[in-house]
């Protein structure tokens, strides 16, 4: 196994990704050779689903993290059909999803399949995600028009705020983020996940390069850095062929070891009590009980945003390019 830190040089492209943009770099190479991409996107109702992409526009729908389990729908069947037809397939997803396509890959088609997994924190139940969507639509009196699970444009890479657009207005929140990182709402299988170790199932594994500010501070601009683990010779070939337009550096994996590379997250002791309350009260009441943001924090954030909105966007773009 070799490990690297990577970031796209094109800042506008990197800002479309949640970390350093390595997924886009590798998928560009696959598309250039007539291949197809499978990954997590969203449908018109903002359900997270696995999609098939045959061009850069469709691929861009798959960029960015989605902090909920994706519905595989017909992705496995379509991927197998592509493989049987001799098409190159880049299949991305959580390690368990990748293990699925490897098990289903038609015999003799393995050479056409490139597998890339995300270093998975665990996935919350889709029920919680659906409850959250309904909650924000009630709160802001409209239908969701856009969702950004982690708004890097406004808050930088190292912070984590979700932004929901309703009636043309953006609303920032950390409610879903906090529910995710408390681990209480992960799927039961995630607490005993057999993939959370260094025995990776894919050709390439990717993650946020948390720890870069200490291990390689010269590489950190708070706009996103990817950690890339090369697990096979096939993975190494595709990775190296995709590095034009990227800054990269081989790194000491010990300095970037994250909990999901060691073991599953422990099931919190209060999980049963939290779920009991969740099932007994409304989602809004549950949020008020556990995640209400202090009033002064709301005012401070609102003022900062208004000041930033008064300054032309081109100024911030030039500032990012200068950095």
pLDDT tens track for 38-55: 999 999 999 999 999 999
The predicted-structure confidence for 249-301, as pLDDT tens digits, reads as follows 999 999 999 999 999 999 999 999 999 999 999 999 999 999 876 545 555 55
Judge if 16 and 112 occupy the same domain.
yes
Residue 35 lies in domain: 3-120+195-261
Whether the per-residue pLDDT at 312 is higher than 80: the answer is no
Phi, psi of 272 (to 5 degrees): -60, -40
Question: Does 303 reside within a domain?
Answer: yes
Q: Mark which of 261, 288, 312 sits at the end of a domain.
A: 261
Judge if 228 and 295 occupy the same domain.
no
Question: Does 190 reside within a domain?
Answer: no
Q: Mark which of 216, 240, 261 sits at the end of a domain.
A: 261
Beta strands in the chain (DSSP E): 2-8, 36-42, 48-53, 89-93, 113-118, 144-148, 162-166, 169-173, 204-208, 226-230, 246-250
Judge if 149 and 180 occupy the same domain.
yes
Judge if 130 and 109 occupy the same domain.
no
Distance from the first to the final alpha carbon of the chain? 32
Judge if 39 and 154 occupy the same domain.
no
Sign of CA dihedral 66, 69, 74, 75: positive
Do residues 55 and 35 make contact, with C-beta atoms less than 8 angstroms apart?
Answer: no
- pLDDT confidence bin for 316, thresholds 50/70/90: low
* DSSP secondary structure letter of residue 190: G
In this prediction, residues 7-28 reach a mean pLDDT of: 94
Judge if 114 and 15 occupy the same domain.
yes
More confident site: 311 or 222: 222
Q: How far apart are CA 235 and CA 43, in angstroms?
A: 30
Judge if 176 and 293 occupy the same domain.
yes
DSSP for 256-296? G--GGGT-PPPPPTTHHHHHHHHHHS-HHHHHHHH-PPPHH
The predicted-structure confidence for 128-183, as pLDDT tens digits, reads as follows 999 999 999 999 999 999 999 999 988 889 888 999 999 999 999 999 999 999 99
Q: How far apart are CA 318 and CA 323, in angstroms?
A: 9
Average of per-residue pLDDT values in the chain:
92
Do residues 8 and 24 make contact, with C-beta atoms less than 8 angstroms apart?
Answer: yes
Judge if 19 and 154 occupy the same domain.
no
What pTM was estimated for this model as a whole? 0.89
Judge if 160 and 11 occupy the same domain.
no
Do residues 50 and 97 make contact, with C-beta atoms less than 8 angstroms apart?
Answer: yes
Please give the tally of structural domains in the chain.
Answer: 2
Judge if 8 and 90 occupy the same domain.
yes
Judge if 152 and 257 occupy the same domain.
no
Q: How far apart are CA 223 and CA 136, in angstroms?
A: 27
Q: How far is CA 110 from CA 35, 81, 103, in A?
A: 14, 13, 10
Judge if 96 and 236 occupy the same domain.
yes
Determine the pLDDT at residue 295: 44
Residues paired with residue 220 on neighbouring β-strands, in sequence order: none
In this prediction, residues 240-245 reach a mean pLDDT of: 95
Determine the pLDDT at residue 279: 96
């Amino acid at each position: 196994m070799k490990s690297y830190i990577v970031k796209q040089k094109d800042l506008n492209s990197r800002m479309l990704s949640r970390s350093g943009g390595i997924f886009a770099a590798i998928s560009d190479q696959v598309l250039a050779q007539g291949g197809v991409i499978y990954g997590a996107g969203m449908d018109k109702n903002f359900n997270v689903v696995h999609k098939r992409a045959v061009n850069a526009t469709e691929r861009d729908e798959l960029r960015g993290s989605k902090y909920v389990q994706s519905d595989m729908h017909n992705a496995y069947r379509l991927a197998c059909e592509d493989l049987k037809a001799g098409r190159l397939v880049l299949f991305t997803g959580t390690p368990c999803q990748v293990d699925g396509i490897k098990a289903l890959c038609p015999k003799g088609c393995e050479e056409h399949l490139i597998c890339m997994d995300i270093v998975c924190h665990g996935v919350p139940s889709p029920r919680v995600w659906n409850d959250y969507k309904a909650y924000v639509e009630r709160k802001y009196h409209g239908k969701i028009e856009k969702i950004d699970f982690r708004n890097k444009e406004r808050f930088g890479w190292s912070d984590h705020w979700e932004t929901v657009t309703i009636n043309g207005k953006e609303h920032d929140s950390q409610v879903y983020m906090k529910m995710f990182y408390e681990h209480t709402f992960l799927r039961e299988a995630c607490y005993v996940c057999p993939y959370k170790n260094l025995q990776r199932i894919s050709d390439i594994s990717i993650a946020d390069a948390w720890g870069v500010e200490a291990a390689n501070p010269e590489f950190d601009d708070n706009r996103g850095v990817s950690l890339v683990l090369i697990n096979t010779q096939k993975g190494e070939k595709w990775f190296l062929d995709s590095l034009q337009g990227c800054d990269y550096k081989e790194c000491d994996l010990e300095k970037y070891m994250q909990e999901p590379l060691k073991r599953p997250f422990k099931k919190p002791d209060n999980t049963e009590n939290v779920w009991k309350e969740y099932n007994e009260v409304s989602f809004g009441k549950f949020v008020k009980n556990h995640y209400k943001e202090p009033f002064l924090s709301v005012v401070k954030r609102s003022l900062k945003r208004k000041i930033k909105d008064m300054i032309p966007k081109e100024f911030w773009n030039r500032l990012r390019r200068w950095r």
